[in-house]
Amino acid sequence: MLFRALILIAALLGFVLPAPGSRANTPLPLHESGKLTWGSAATFPPFEFMEDGKPVGFDIDLLDAITARMAVQSAPDLMDFKGLIPALLGGRIDAIASGMYINPERSQVVDFIPYLRVGNQMLVPKGNPLHLAALPDLCGHRLAAPVGTVYEKNAQQLAANCQSAGKPTLTILSLTSTAAGALALKEGRADAIVASTPTVAALIKDSPDAFETAGEPFDNTTLLGIGLPKDKPALTDAVKAAFKAIVADGTYAGLIKKYGFPPGSSLF
């Protein structure tokens, strides 16, 4: 009777009350109440990396803005990239924001909210001593790639292509991160790495005397996404609504500008 009376009063005043059991009355299914715990590898500049002992980067700022809109605390949980999806599926984190490429294999087990478009490019030592210009040129050389990433998978496919074409063997250095690959390149343990165009730009900016690009950017339609559990649609809806809000108020565009991403990176 009380609820019916409230409905009648609300109707007279022009308000709409949520129905009993609606999502509006249901707390978000978070790992820890009041916090969005999200996984990140923090080894993929400029998206996430460590500076003065703290994680910084585009994704850090993005999730800070999203969680502020959701009125919850942003709680990054740093781990190896290969452990992100298992942690999400195991309920140890609520979301993933780690420069993760959306692909069909990942989309089978994770829901994604696309937030950025990137390309890829090859990075080589300054002066390009091996005169590399395209991926097939890497046959017979050493390519570093982060474990569990699309770059490692693509490197394995390239190695298979080298073999089937009767070309010299491509050696793959499977390392813990893009940063580790860049260090291997700088130390002469690798001949090239492949990374996102924003990451390549950030590495060159940080070490202009050590690196340069080889060849033109490629795969310029790759999307990065915030990963969320498939069994928590209310959480996905809340993150999506918050993301739309920071797009509408200009925060998203401000982050694109802050990190020097090309205009084509924006999805809006």
The verdict on residue 164 lying in a domain is: yes
pLDDT at 25 (0 to 100): 54
In a domain, 9, yes or no: no
Tell whether 38 and 167 lie within a shared domain: no
Q: Is residue 21 part of a domain?
A: no
Residues of the chain with pLDDT under 50: 1-24
User: Domain for residue 22, yes or no?
Assistant: no
Query: For the range 238-247, what are the long-range contacts, defined as Cβ-Cβ under 8 Å and sequence gap of 24 or more?
Result: 238/28, 238/70, 239/36, 239/66, 239/70, 239/95, 239/113, 240/113, 241/69, 242/66, 242/67, 242/69, 242/70, 243/66, 243/113, 243/115, 245/69, 246/62, 246/65, 246/66, 246/69
- Is residue 11, in this structure, part of any structural domain at all? no
Domain membership of residue 26 (yes or no) is no
Which pLDDT value is given to residue 45?
87
Tell me what pLDDT residue 20 has. Answer: 40
Do residue 189 and residue 66 come from a single domain?
A: no
Residue 16 lies inside a defined structural domain of this protein:
no
Domain CATH code at residue 55: 3.40.190.10
Asked if 240 and 108 sit in the same domain, the reply is yes
Task: Say if 79 falls within a structural domain.
Answer: yes
Check residue 252 and give its pLDDT: 98
Number of domains in the chain: 2
Of the three residues 203, 219, 235, the one that is the final residue of a domain is 219
Judge if 104 and 164 occupy the same domain.
Answer: no
Do residues 246 and 206 share a domain?
no
Q: Tell me: do 109 and 96 sit in the same domain.
A: yes
Task: Note the pLDDT of residue 15.
Answer: 39
pLDDT for 13 equals 38
Residue 209 is part of which domain span? 119-219
pTM assigned to the model: 0.74
Q: Are residues 107 and 126 in the same domain?
A: no
Instruction: Among 219, 240, 255, identify where a domain stops.
Output: 219
